[in-house]
Structure 1
């Protein structure tokens, strides 16, 4: 059961996210609903040629789900895998880009905001994962979804000593809303594992210890 796999610190962080959602109010509302893992929403059925191609990768998604243990046990296999190539956000230089621009890389996509308490906890771990595993075939793509200017999220990264993650940005919350429409995002943080063809293989809501051996084994299972 998902509840049994969450340690006490993780449960506390998810509870903190709910409180943060009340404070943030209109932006996202409550962060986690139902089971504390946050993974209780149905996915949208595949459609379109890209989604059909991704749906054929169910075996890879199943492998990813089986590898999600320990610190990353809340990561669920996509069923079915679907294309996220069209997700759009800003590159580190501020120019528009899509997930298709990262073709050829396995990507751990993470959405975060400065007012998200669990995000503050897990960002250094995501940073360490990028240091340990990042390269030509893998990248942690952490997208900030604060509205307003870049000043606050950049200060957040300095305060948390996050220096290995590129500064991807979406001040419109379009990425979050897209994932929400697909039944993948219930709050922040939300994390999605995507292969080199832009196909989502696994997903989760809530924080995790991304610098752990469990997280590295999950990444290794699909590289």
Structure 2
């Protein structure tokens, strides 16, 4: 019996990504995604903060938002528990260090990607389309590239694929991935996080999705209270 959860269609791209990741010696790339609906508590080795306690009180909101995650975004699970990601660090489009807290007041969809990750590359135009249609002073897609080295390779990829709406966030140290790994949120690439306007994680997933689909737009709309 179907539970309304369907896998991302580009299976061949995910398998190619696994090979690419092995060649690059990079972090693991997701090959499969469980969609049983069981959301085990995320095991974190990061010390809790007062902000985490405030975010944990949003557990019911996280479940309500994640209940809208069906079809093309069915792998998005409620944060368990919701936690503060204000201190998540990376570099902004200007190259200067910043944290997710600098986007306070905006609901954000954070996506970690790399040029060697085939499913990441496949979903980038969809993330761009989502930002183009729904980006505002209340919502932004924050796609953080984690390629090591300089920024020329990811810039070239985005230019060649016509990605123009996404700001170019970067972390060449992989520090952001390691931070999320310690929080029990990252097992491979891509990683996507839905974070509210106060920096609280509401939902998360490992693996790709169709981010320009009606299902994805409905999910973002629910997070925005629309």
- TM-score, normalisation: structure 2: 0.91
Residue in structure 1 matched with residue 42 of structure 2 by the alignment: 43
Confirm or deny: 8 A CA contact 1:41 1:184 kept in the other structure.
no
CA distance in 2, matches of 1:161, 1:77: 32
Distance 1:41 1:2, change over 3 A: farther
Q: 1:17 to 1:3 in 2, by over 3 A?
A: farther
Contact persistence 2:86–2:99 (CA under 8 A): yes
Structural mapping, 1:9-28, within 5 Å: 9-25=9-25, 27-28=26-27
Q: How many residues align?
A: 218
1:209 paired to 2:210:
yes
Partners of 2:128 and 2:163 within 8 A in 1: yes
- Following the alignment from structure 1 to structure 2, what is the Cα–Cα distance between the partners of residues 38 and 83? 25
**Closer, same or farther in 2 for the Cα pair 1:186/1:3, shift >3 Å?**
farther
Q: Which structure 1 segments of 5+ residues have no match?
A: none
Q: Does 1:119 align with 2:120?
A: yes
Task: Work out the CA distance in 1 between the residues paired with 2:108 and 2:117.
Answer: 22
| Cα distance per residue 1:175-194 (max 9 Å; x no partner) | 11111111111111110000
What secondary structure is seen at the aligned counterpart in 2 of 1:67? coil
Cα RMSD of the aligned pairs, angstroms, is 2.0
1:120–1:160 contact (8 Å) kept in structure 2: no
How big is the shift at 1:41? 7.6
Paired with 2:4 and 2:11, the residues of 1 have a C-alpha distance of 9
Alpha-carbon displacement from aligned partner over 1:136-181 (angstroms, at most 9, x marks no partner): 0000000000111111110010111100000101011111111111
Aligned-partner Cα distance in 2 for 1:3–1:18: 27
| Inter-partner Cα distance in structure 1 for 2:51 and 2:122 | 35
